[in-house]
Amino acid sequence: MFLKLFLPLVLLLFACAPLRPIAPAEEPPSPPPEKKEEPLPPTPTPEPVEPDTAKKQIIQKNIDVGVGFEKRSAVIACPEKKWEFRAGKNSRTEIETKGNCTYAGKTYRGSWIVIAADTGVTVINHLDTEDYLKGVVPHEIGKLNIEGFEALKAQAVAARTYAYIHLGSRKSQGFDVYADTRDQVYNGRNDEDSLVNEAILATSNVVIKYNGNLIEAYYHSTCGGKTESSEVWEKESKPYLAAVLDSTEGGIFCELSRYKKWEEKFSKTELIKLFQKNATNAKADKIFSFSKIERILITEKFPSGRVKRLVVFTDKGSFEVFGDKARWLFQRAGKILPSALFSISQNGNDYIISGSGFGHGIGMCQFGVIARAKAGQKFDDILKAYYTGVSVERY
């Protein structure tokens, strides 16, 4: 009799207990399109942002993505309603919706947070991290066929790890990550890909760790045969972001990239204007006016051959730039140099910059990943080839 009364009570208690949340599955940025265009990694990021250390090992299911920054107004159109927000009165509005809303011509999953202030309107997409990855992968590395499935899985794990460790890194602005190259390129539901989504599901909840902690899973398009440490950003070197060779007996893994070799030409007159215009963004040690460039010298290089110190001698003195920032010194028409792996020569009144690679060169080389996958390497071995001493495991 006691069992007859007690058993239903136990079953009722179990039924009411909350289920343990499941950590989000990861989704990789996809490899380059079939037309052999470069992957679009977050390489031109001005400066790496240190994540909120308090959140480094906390995995949450949702992520807040800063997708829009309007000066005057923003419109979000959902199937059930249309919202319009204007700059001015300080406010924070949360929009609960079933998804499929459009903003600025793009369709998004998830719900919304809109922050209005005198300075403008910030539009934030709030969604499951796995759904976020579905909007990242196709725009970071492109779309591949089944031959590149292991590459998609590797990129999925790297992108998930990057997302997790950067939760809270932009909290002063009201969100976790930007939707552009300052973090990972995210375009909502636009151009989602079924094979990419399979790769995300196949690596569900898999991350990269070093000594039990999530890593800074930086990646870039083309390393040119050797990656570089985080010192190129004038940051403390991390053991798992060491410079590694990325070559085979027959050549380099990223040889199919059109940035395997590249060249840029600048006239002396052009460089006088560019250097003075770009000195601040390039973080030159001294900024001043001059009317003549006498010499441009690379005085020191990193082990990979990337520029460590570049000195410009002018008629008014010299100034120096460090590491990856040398790319910004030559910026023209909105474009910096493809990489810091370059040399400089002079031909009459022109300076010739001859280089290799695309991006900062830190961490995983996306074109190398694609080649390794086609050569039969598995995604976890691929990741360990680029991130030194790491483990690839379920979180």
pLDDT exceeds 70 at position 299: yes
Q: Are residues 217 and 80 located together in one domain of the fold?
A: yes
Note whether 217 and 161 are within 8 A (CB).
yes
Residues 308, 289 within the same domain: yes
Q: Is the dihedral of CA 74, 188, 167, 385 positive or negative?
A: negative
Of 82-86, 136-140, 159-163, 300-304, minimum mean pLDDT range: 136-140
pLDDT-derived band at 59 (thresholds 50, 70, 90) equals low
- Quick one: pLDDT at residue 46? 37
Tens-place pLDDT, residues 93-120 = 999 998 899 999 999 999 999 999 999 9
Instruction: For residue 287, tell me if it sits in a domain.
Output: yes
Do 190 and 290 share a domain, yes or no? no
Residue 229 falls inside a structural domain: no
Quote the percentage of the chain above a pLDDT of 70: 85
Residues 162, 82: one domain? yes
* CA atoms in the 13 A half-sphere facing the CB of 126: 15
Give whole-number Cα distances, 330 to 147, 273, 285, 335, 344, in Å: 38, 10, 16, 8, 12
Same domain, 145 and 277: no
Based on the domain organization, do 98 and 182 belong to the same domain? Answer: yes
What was the pLDDT predicted at 14? 34
Three-state secondary structure string covering the chain? CHHHHHHHHHHHHHHHCCCCCCCCCCCCCCCCCCCCCCCCCCCCCCCCCCCCHHHCCCCCCEEEEEEEEECCEEEEECCCCEEEEECCCCEEEEECCCCCEEECCEEECCEEEEEEECCEEEEEEEEEHHHHHHCCHHHHCCCCCHHHHHHHHHHHHHHHHHHHHCCCCCHHHCCCEECCCCCCCCCCCCCCCHHHHHHHHHCCCEEEEECCEECCCCEECECCCECECHHHHCCCCCCCCCCCECEECCEECCCCCCCCCEEEEEEHHHHHHHHHHHCCCCCCCCCCCCCCEEEEEEEEECCCCCEEEEEEEECCEEEEEEHHHHHHHCCECCECCCCCCEEEEEECCEEEEEECCECCCECEEHHHHHHHHHCCCCHHHHHHHHCCCCEEEEC
Is there a domain that residue 36 lies in? no
Which tops the pLDDT comparison, 124 or 60? 124
How confident is residue 237, by pLDDT bands cut at 50, 70 and 90?
Answer: confident
Kind of pairing, strands 206-210 and 391-394? antiparallel
Do 381 and 325 belong to one domain?
no
Q: Tell me: do 78 and 217 sit in the same domain.
A: yes
**How many domains does the chain divide into?**
2
- Residue 58 reports pLDDT greater than 60: no
202 domain residue, yes or no: yes
pLDDT, average across residues 191-220: 96
Q: Which pair of structure tokens corresponds to residue 199? A: 């790769």
* pLDDT at res. 234: 84
Question: Does the predicted model carry a pTM greater than 0.85?
Answer: no
pLDDT score recorded for residue 60: 63
137 vs 132: CA distance, rounded Å: 9
372 domain residue, yes or no: yes
Q: How many CA atoms lie within 13 A of 2 on its CB side?
A: 0
Q: Is pLDDT of 22 > 60?
A: no
Domain membership flag for residue 101: yes
Establish if 241 belongs to a structural domain.
Answer: no
Residues 210 and 320 in one domain: no
Q: Classify residue 177: in a domain, yes or no.
A: yes
pLDDT of residue 56: 45
Q: Are residues 208 and 331 in the same domain?
A: no
Q: Which of 50-54, 121-125, 166-170, 238-242 shows the lowest per-residue confidence on average (mean pLDDT)?
A: 50-54
Q: Do 389 and 371 share a structural domain?
A: yes
pLDDT band at 138 (very low <50, low <70, confident <90, very high): confident
Q: Which residue has the higher pLDDT, 236 or 350?
A: 350
Domain hosting residue 276, numbered range: 262-355
Q: How many whole angstroms separate alpha carbon 333 and alpha carbon 321?
A: 20
265-275 residue pLDDT tens: 999 999 999 99
CB of 290 within 8 A of CB of 314? yes
Instruction: Give the mean pLDDT of the chain.
Output: 87
Q: What's the rounded mean pLDDT across residues 241-260?
A: 93
Indicate if the pLDDT at residue 47 is higher than 60.
no
Q: What is the largest CA-CA distance in the chain?
A: 103
Q: In whole angstroms, what is the distance from residue 30 CA to residue 310 CA?
A: 35
Is 72's pLDDT higher than 80? yes
Whether residue 138 is found in the same domain as residue 285: no
Q: Output the CA–CA distances (angstroms, integers) from residue 305 to 107, 345, 358, 361, in the order listed.
A: 43, 16, 14, 11
Rounded CA separation 77/104 (Å) = 10
pLDDT digits (tens, 9 = 90+) for 140-198: 888 999 999 999 999 999 999 999 999 999 999 999 999 999 999 999 998 899 999 99
Q: Is the pLDDT of residue 344 over 60?
A: yes
